[in-house]
Structure 1
Amino acid sequence: MYCPKCKAEYVDEITVCPNCNLKLVKKLSENPADDFVEFVTILKTGNQAITAIAKSILDEAEIKYFATGEHMQGVFGMGLGFAPSATFGEVEIKVSKEDREIAEKLLEDLKNEE
């Protein structure tokens, strides 16, 4: 038996993945399209501190995410003057569409800080 999310293998007597709390399947899908995950942006910020806190919150909640634009933060993070740049240095944090609602709730206070 296999977990369709984490792909862990279990003996036949176990029917639910203890990590993901999903019903196990007898065989994992061989179709890569079944593993396709749609990601959505849940946070855009030019503030490095908010980026670090958001990532920490998502890590603690074990929500998979990725961030785009971080490589630009070190170069253009301050933008023009002291305000974050709208063109350069903005980071977008993305989570899977299925995790969107819980991730947005977890980061709600951070969005209000900007």
Structure 2
Amino acid sequence: MFCPKCKSEYIEGYTHCKKCDVDLVDELPEEPDEYEDAPSIDPVKIRYAPNAIDAEMAMDLLRQNNIPCFSKHSESGGYMSIYMGFSVYGEDIYVDRNNAQAALDVLNDWDIVQGALGEDPDELEEPDSPEAPDEPDESYDNAPSYTRRRTAARVFAVYFAASIILASLFGALIMLLDILLD
């Protein structure tokens, strides 16, 4: 015997659920699959945001215009944000292919407004078109090493490992001095 409301199971002899105040049934009705009617989407990358704040601002603008969207860390940025609290890799913003042009229009209008408010329009990044494949940036090879994302991540990893090693050596030295001085 089962309660149709709270789905609690009762032993034979009980006919009423005191908690829900309903009569028990022999079997629970089969629940429909909640994802059965979920629409399938074809995600398209429409923009790269250099940090989580810019990504969240752009996604908030899209949501205000009833355009569903989501973001995903670029490269291994998810791991970097766990360790550092932020990612040097940035985030990619995705929408459904059916909404891609509307999303690009909204973001382009936003870029124009930002340019009119005093930001340098030359610094504004043009969003990728939905059909364009990701192409490497030509200036990436000539950029200083500290602006390259992979190099920055490697430098961080080396400094992190070195700090752990130095901390353990310092701890061992303190213990050795403590033993020698006693």
TM-score for the superposition, normalised by structure 1? 0.51
SS in 2 for 1:37: coil
Aligned mates of 2:62, 2:72 — CA distance in 1 = 15
Deviation at 1:36, TM superposition (A): 2.5
**Please, what is the CA RMSD of the aligned residues?**
2.9
Change (3 A) 1:49 1:35: closer
With a CA cutoff of 8 Å and minimum separation of 6, indicate the structure with the bigger relative contact order: 1
TM-score for the superposition, normalised by structure 2? 0.34
Match 1:40 to one of 40, 44, 63: 44
Query: Per residue, is there more helix in 1 or in 2?
Result: 2
Which residue matches 1:95? Answer: 95
Change (3 A) 1:53 1:97: same
1:52 and 2:72 equivalent?
Answer: no
SS in 2 for 1:62: coil
**Unmatched tracts of structure 2, length 5 or more:** 1-35, 113-120, 126-182
SS in 1 for 2:105: helix
Q: How many residues of Structure 1 are paired with residues of Structure 2 in the alignment?
A: 73
Q: Is the 8 A contact 1:42 1:104 kept in 2?
A: yes
Deviation at 1:72, TM superposition (A): 4.9
1:66 and 2:38 equivalent?
Answer: no
Aligned mates of 1:96, 1:106 — CA distance in 2 = 14
Q: Is the 8 A contact 1:54 1:110 kept in 2?
A: no
Q: Which has the larger radius of gyration?
A: 2
Aligned mates of 1:73, 1:107 — CA distance in 2 = 27
Aligned mates of 1:56, 1:50 — CA distance in 2 = 10
Deviation at 1:51, TM superposition (A): 1.0
Change (3 A) 1:46 1:72: farther
Q: Is the 8 A contact 1:68 1:93 kept in 2?
A: yes
Change (3 A) 1:105 1:72: farther
Percent of aligned positions that are identical: 18
The one-letter code of the counterpart of 1:37 is: I
Deviation at 1:106, TM superposition (A): 0.6
Q: Is the 8 A contact 1:42 1:95 kept in 2?
A: yes
Deviation at 1:71, TM superposition (A): 3.6
